[in-house]
Structure 1
Amino acid sequence: MTVESCCNMAFIPNDIWVEITIKVAADSIRDLCSLRMTFKAARDAGEAEIVHRSVSIPPPHATPWWWCLNPGAKRFFDRCMVASNPELLFREALRELFIRRNENDGMKMLNSATNTGHVAAKYALTMTLLLRTDDNDEKQRGMKMFRELDAAGSLADCKAMCFSILTISWPGEVQMPRIEAQQTVCNSPTCSTRGHMPLLYDYRRRAAERNSVHAFGGAAHIPCINCRANYEMQAFVNLA
């Protein structure tokens, strides 16, 4: 890079630097660190709260183990959490709900992450709402979100992301909720698949243990969307 181009960069307004840094942060946390080491203006822009909120957090299996021990890395992620980074909110919500058993804080975080557009958080919130027995309005809200996820074809990817976090981040510590009889979503007396989803899930699970082709497919072929929601609930509580 020439001296002239460096001088020109010095005159770029800070808000432009912030926008550039946001785009870099949303793509790669490593690229963000590299950018911040190039210019003072980029380093200053990287201090903005919106940048910490926008940082792309790598999945657990791609996260270097030493990040949790490095003081600088811990301070950085603490700042991202304070800035309400959606991915960290989502992960902390799962910790509150299924390890610390703190439903109030967990649900607040899960709602906040969902409101940012985090799809896996929306999936976890959907399942948590469907599992409720004390609030029919919330169950209906969960069913509305399930329809949206089902229509978008997002269920499998979201479930895989939740599985990755729950099993890699906190192996052996997670306590998933149980499904009681009254938590069945489908209540139609004329539905031919009502009440069969636990059996179908067990059949698919045993087939998977045998590496059978019958393990695939889930409940996608079931015409009743409420029964498909029941099947997804079975899969969710058995993630960990």
Structure 2
Amino acid sequence: MTIDCFSKIAFIPNDIWVAITIKVASHSIRDLCSLRMTCKAARNAGDTDIVRRSVSIPPPHATPWWWCINPESKRFFDRCMVAGHPELLFREALRELFIRRNENVGLQMLNSATSTGHAAAKYALSMTLLLRTDDNVGKQKGLELYRQLDAAGSLADCNVRCFSILIILWSGEVQMPHIQEQHTVCASPTCFTRGHMPLLYDYRRRAAERNSVHAFGGAAHIPCIQCRADYDLQAFVNLP
């Protein structure tokens, strides 16, 4: 006697497969690879751009070293990059900006990652625009992005995120821009904290070297958001 095995898997619509695959991909790359090996429908769904943009990319310190040299892994990440994966765009944008010194390419990548809601990319874009002394329109856009992050309470996390990416991936190669002495975001003649942020940053940095409690707090208590942006600029260019 024979038993006929019948599976309804072939009748699941493709959009359902894509939705399932996105869920799996956003949890783990390994789970995505396992799912793609189950059947043709799962493999086809895994090859769509929307899935590649959704893949969960582990932080640099948790990424297996051999992924960087394995040809299949490199091809996979290249395809995710082409599809517009926000985390990969963010990391490559930092490389373009502060290692290769390709500002236009880096800004384009940061804009693409920011448009997806990537907070750390928005922070890096804000800082990069605020550093451009010859572009008032760009500075205003950078300040608006900074205000949005401040309202969301994301500034501290974004600063740490940029720091960790730059340090872990490209330690010793990063070339951060310099802030000119006369460069300040805050332009109000009545602001009592204007111009003092470099001194406050230097004080916090020296306190951190002494393991003092005065190293904590940053400029969060400063009521002027533009002065807080000036403080973050100091922290940003001194990330490495």
* Cα displacement (A) at 1:182: 3.4
1:65 is aligned to 65
User: How many Å separate the matches in 1 of 2:179 and 2:170?
Assistant: 22
Which residue pairs with 1:141 in the alignment? 141
Q: Percent identity?
A: 78
Distance (whole Å) between structure 2 residues aligned to residue 232 and residue 5 of structure 1: 63
CA contact (8 A) 1:98 1:176 kept: yes
1:36 offset after TM fit, Å? 1.4
Shift of 1:6: 7.3
Q: Distance in 2 between matches of 1:215 and 1:35?
A: 48
Q: What amino acid is the match of 1:208?
A: A
Structure-2 separation of matches of 1:29 and 1:134: 43
Q: Deviations over 1:116-163 (max 9, x none)?
A: 111100000000011111110110111111111111110111111111
Do the aligned residues in 2 keep the contact of 1:110 with 1:125 (CA within 8 Å)?
Answer: yes
Distance 1:149 1:6 in 2: 53
Moved more, 19-28 or 160-169: 19-28
Q: CA deviation at 1:39?
A: 2.4
Alpha-carbon displacement from aligned partner over 1:89-135 (angstroms, at most 9, x marks no partner): 11111100000000111111111110111110000000001111111
**Hey, what does 1:171 align to over in structure 2?**
171
Residue in 2 that maps onto 1:53 = 53
Shift of 1:40: 2.5
Give the match for residue 127 of structure 2.
Answer: 127
CA distance in 2, matches of 1:36, 1:164: 32
| Native 8 Å contact 1:130 1:183 kept in 2 | no
- Distance in 2 separating the partners of 1:127 and 1:5: 60
Shift of 1:5: 9.3
1:228 is aligned to 228
More displaced 10-residue stretch of structure 1: 140-149 or 23-32: 23-32
Q: Structure 1 segments of 4 or more deviating over 6 A?
A: 3-6
Alpha-carbon offset, residue 210 of structure 1 = 1.1
Counterpart of 1:44 in 2: which secondary structure? helix
What's the RMSD between the two structures over aligned residues? Answer: 1.5
For the residue of structure 1 that corresponds to 2:7, the secondary structure is helix
Q: 1:203 to 1:71 in 2, by over 3 A?
A: same
Shifted more, 6-15 versus 213-222: the winner is 6-15
Aligned with 1:7: secondary structure?
coil
Please give the TM-score of this superposition, normalised by the length of structure 2: 0.95
What residue is the counterpart of 1:41 in the other structure? 41
1:38 CA drift (Å): 2.3
Q: Match of 2:225, as an amino acid?
A: I
C-alpha distance in structure 1 between counterparts of 2:116 and 2:20, whole Å: 20
d(CA) in 2 for partners of 1:64 and 1:230? 37
1:10-44 deviations in whole A, cap 9, x for unaligned?
32112211111112112221221121122222112
State the SS of the aligned residue for 2:182. Answer: helix
Gaps of 5+ in 2: none
CA contact (8 A) 1:187 1:194 kept: yes
Q: Distance in 2 between matches of 1:182 and 1:17?
A: 56
Output the amino acid matched with 1:186. Answer: C
